[in-house]
Amino acid sequence: MNELCVVDWSISDTQKWLEKEGLSLETRTILCEANRMSGKFFLALTEQDFAMEPISKLILRDRKCLYMAVKLLQRENQNSMISLGLIELPSVSLYTPNNSYLKHNDYSDYCESDFISRPASEDGRSQKLPPEIFKLFISFCYLIFVTWITAFVMVIVHDRVPDMNKYPPLPDIFLDNVPLIPWAFDMCEISGTILLTIWLVVLIFHKHRFILMRRVFALSGTVFLLRCITMLITSLSVPGTHLQCRPKNITSGDVFLFSDIAAKISQAYVIWSGGGLAIQGVRTCGDYMFSGHTVALTMLNFFITEYTPRNLYFLHITTWVMNMFGIFFILAAHEHYSIDVFVAFYITSRLFLYYHTLSNHQGLVQRDYRRTRIWFPLFSFFESSVDGIVPNEYDTPSGIVKNIWCVIKCQLNLLRQFAYDCRNRSSFIGDRDMASTMDFKKTK
């Protein structure tokens, strides 16, 4: 019997196996003689079968022994179960709600259901990476919405900035020991512009550019949304006496309410359209905890180093140097406290690493599916179709031109088909109206 495949077990072979597993004669008689159970039928047993007759009528000891024996038999014969169609290869998404193969909330009366990890290549790379442009559009709208909120909050905190005469700059180890460099903040923004240019070049040539853009939009929007909260709840004093910051005198009359809101929206648009950059003429006060410039520098640096080949050491060193020098220039310009840039760097880097750790190792969230959807709703939605590491694969310039031409060609074909359908529809309507007119004349 041991040399036979379970699928080929006869009823007598199955009886011998049940006897070996320690089941009573009565149980063997019920299962094999009364119900004619052979080996392959034991592979087909499910949790529901154990709650139904005749198994539910067995004594508790035999039910427990049978459950453990069947589970072990099924685990050792996964290939046979696949060939019988009892289970399917887990090629669908972990987050598909009706996926019975990976369902997490099914528990039997005896123990938890078994979990089978999603397949991946030997190096952990994802085997299925659909672009999902609609998710990219949602993440882009999310970022635009958050940046508008950020701009409006910056206007509010600018009006609430503490009086410089009453609240002098707070003690700061770096600012107290490093003299003011007037041009340093412009150098910080130039460093950020260079990093942004490098990132755009990476996006142009990367094969999975839609996934990359979706991730940078989602992560940036989340960090800046958190920044809105920290800016609004606590107003720090101005870090440098060279900054011309004055709190706004807020009137209590309702007459000026509408005009005040309109003025705030107008100021928020100026900040939003200028990207919050000083080189674009945007100057704000009160938005100190935490540094938005540090967030942008750090986010660009981490994305460039993550999605470029590991052997580009010079590029990675350059981006890290620009990130660190950008932070130094922020502090040298006395535009932020040291705690502002430290918190910004920590939050941005941790969120980036946590997000990519979860997306690269989906097995980490497999047992905590419900908790993941509650605490990381954006991650659960945006990464539902990614089952591993996004490989750094790139298109050649000719390949990019070819892809663009294919997209344009497809759109032109759709337009031609639409125009052809419109002509056929109009000619059909015309013929129908003509036939109706002729029938009317014949009737008269």
Mean pLDDT confidence for 129-143: 91
Say yes or no: 287 and 352 in one domain.
yes
Mean pLDDT of 133-139: 92
Residue 116 lies in a domain: no
Residue 440 domain flag = no
Give residue-wise pLDDT tens across range 268-314.
999 998 888 888 888 888 889 899 999 999 999 999 999 999 899 99
pLDDT band at 116 (very low <50, low <70, confident <90, very high): very low
Give the span between the Cα atoms of 166 and 169, in whole angstroms.
10
Question: What is the model's pLDDT at position 252?
Answer: 46
Are both 330 and 412 inside the same structural domain? no
Q: Are residues 155 and 281 in the same domain?
A: yes
My answer on whether 386 and 413 are in the same domain is no
Residue 197 has pLDDT above 90, yes or no: yes
pLDDT digits (tens, 9 = 90+) for 45-85: 888 888 888 888 888 888 888 888 888 888 888 777 777 77
Which of 29-33, 137-141, 389-393 reaches the highest mean pLDDT?
A: 137-141
Q: Are residues 354 and 416 in the same domain?
A: no
**Cis-peptide, bond into residue 152, ω within 30° of zero:** no
What is the pLDDT at residue 277? Answer: 86
Q: Per-residue confidence at 429, pLDDT binned at 50, 70, 90?
A: low
Whether 381 and 403 map to the same domain: the answer is no
Q: The domain that contains 79 carries what CATH number? A: 1.10.150.50
On whether residue 340 sits in a domain, the answer given is yes
Q: Give residue 36's domain range.
A: 6-84
Cross-strand pairs, 389: 125
Q: Do 293 and 283 share a structural domain?
A: yes
Our count of domains for the chain comes to 3
What pLDDT score does 394 carry? 87
CB contact at 8 A, 305 and 320:
yes
- 69 and 182 in a common domain: no
Residue 432 lies in a domain: no
Q: What percent of the chain has pLDDT over 70?
A: 81
Q: What is the pLDDT of residue 102?
A: 39
Rounded Cα distance between 80 and 339, Å, is: 60
pLDDT confidence band for 101 (50 / 70 / 90): very low
Q: pLDDT-based confidence at 35, cuts 50/70/90?
A: confident
Residues 186, 277, single domain; the answer is yes
pLDDT in tens, 376-393: 788 888 888 887 788 888
Per the omega criterion (within 30 degrees of 0), is the bond before 54 cis? yes
Query: Is 119's pLDDT higher than 70?
Result: no
Residue 120 has pLDDT above 70, yes or no: no
Residues 139 and 230 in one domain: yes
User: What pLDDT shows up at residue 226?
Assistant: 95
Decide if pLDDT at 229 tops 80: yes
Q: Report whether pLDDT(205) > 80.
A: yes
Clarify whether residues 67 and 139 are in a common domain.
Answer: no
174 and 299 part of one domain: yes
The residues annotated with a catalytic role in the active site are 293, 336, 340
Q: Report yes or no on 180 lying in a domain.
A: yes
